[in-house]
Structure 1
């Protein structure tokens, strides 16, 4: 696989460096296995903004990333590592969707603004990776049920079209499950907003 990449970056060396960083962050059990290299090469190309390599992988660097795969395949750890490769103007932070849903119970609709347009009087909206999309539930705020993540993603679609603001997502849902949980409007917006990078469904749980 690596011989196919024509790039001025050495992807093998970057993977060795990422593995060391992973050990620092997660402990000695952290390993990047060879089967995951095709996925990780795509993520490296995208987050380094290595345009020629992204072009080879058919990745649009103007869109965000959705990393999908079964539970325990290492999606969140990988996205956390990618923060160390990302140029400053594309820095992002990782926010679990479950935490957002708990914040919604406490603070209500203000939370939808917080993770889309940014809080009132706050600086510009930020690049966010919504971690584990699908693990949050539809929640009630004063008796009103709200699909919080659907609302946030629709708002962020507007930011993507108007301001080119990117959104990243990790999920173990399939495209059909996303449509069932969030509606076909969200699914079609996501198709415009993000590049899908997917693990095989047969991959083993690494935990």
Structure 2
């Protein structure tokens, strides 16, 4: 099956939000199984995310979204954050892809391999750090380390120097993130990310 996301006008694509939703649901079912669906209550957040990914600068600007920064997608457990971040990149295959990496896996790797792991995330690839803030503490040879905090500082430097993109998902609010990573990292996160949030009452879609 082929899905049109809009119409071609000369060399410009005019995207159609309803067509994008049809594509995302079809692609989601291929990736996550037949039970996957796009929920009507998520249309507002999906609209913003779609505008961001297609880089509609005019509309994003109206909504206070900076297309040159990453996305920090927050919301309750099970609302679909990770699935959407895995899915949305397929809508723009011509753009640099990013790898979605569970934060807890990064810490497990650090506990096993040490500081090399933090260095590995200072490379030229784009990442989405999944489930930020609920990962376990990092300990290597008895030394404790706030692994994701250090990686966020590295990613901030890469963003400032090379405009390299980082995304993240989290269940935590701004104050909880600051408590977890400290004020310095939190202020860097404000520069790194656009904050987009699911409604607090979003249902758990995993059942």
Contact 1:39 1:197 in 2 (8 A): yes
2:189 maps to 1:190: yes
**Shift of residue 45 of structure 1?**
1.0
For structure 1, which runs of at least 5 residues remain unmatched after alignment? 1-6, 119-124
State the alpha-carbon separation in 2 of the partners of residues 198 and 25 from structure 1. Answer: 23
Tell me the equivalent position of 2:133: 134
Q: Are positions 1:19 and 2:25 aligned together? A: yes
Partners of 1:48 and 1:86 within 8 A in 2: yes
Counterpart position of 2:169: 170
Displacement of 1:87 in angstroms is: 4.5
Once the two structures are superposed, the pairs formed by residues 36-47 of structure 1 within 5 Å of their partners are 36-47=42-53
Residue in 2 that maps onto 1:96: 102
1:30 correspondence with 2:56: no
Cross-structure match for 1:160 = 159
Which is further off, 40-49 or 96-105?
A: 40-49
Contact (CA 8 Å) 1:48, 1:87: kept in 2 or not?
no
Please identify which structure carries the higher strand content.
Answer: 2
TM-score (norm 1): 0.90
Separation (CA, whole Å) in 1 of partners of 2:95 and 2:46 = 21
* 1:84 aligned counterpart, secondary structure: helix
Contact 1:66 1:194 in 2 (8 A): yes
Match of 2:90 in 1: 84
Residues 9-64 of structure 1 show CA distances to partners (whole Å, capped at 9, x for unaligned) of: 10111001100011111111111011101111111111111222212322101100
After TM superposition, the runs of 4+ consecutive aligned structure 1 residues lying more than 6 A away are none
Q: Which runs of 5+ in 2 are unaligned?
A: 1-12
Given the alignment of the two structures, is residue 65 of structure 1 paired with residue 71 of structure 2, yes or no?
yes
Residues 82-138 of structure 1, C-alpha deviation per residue, up to 9 Å, x if partnerless? 12023434311101101101110111000001012x2xxxxxx11100000012111
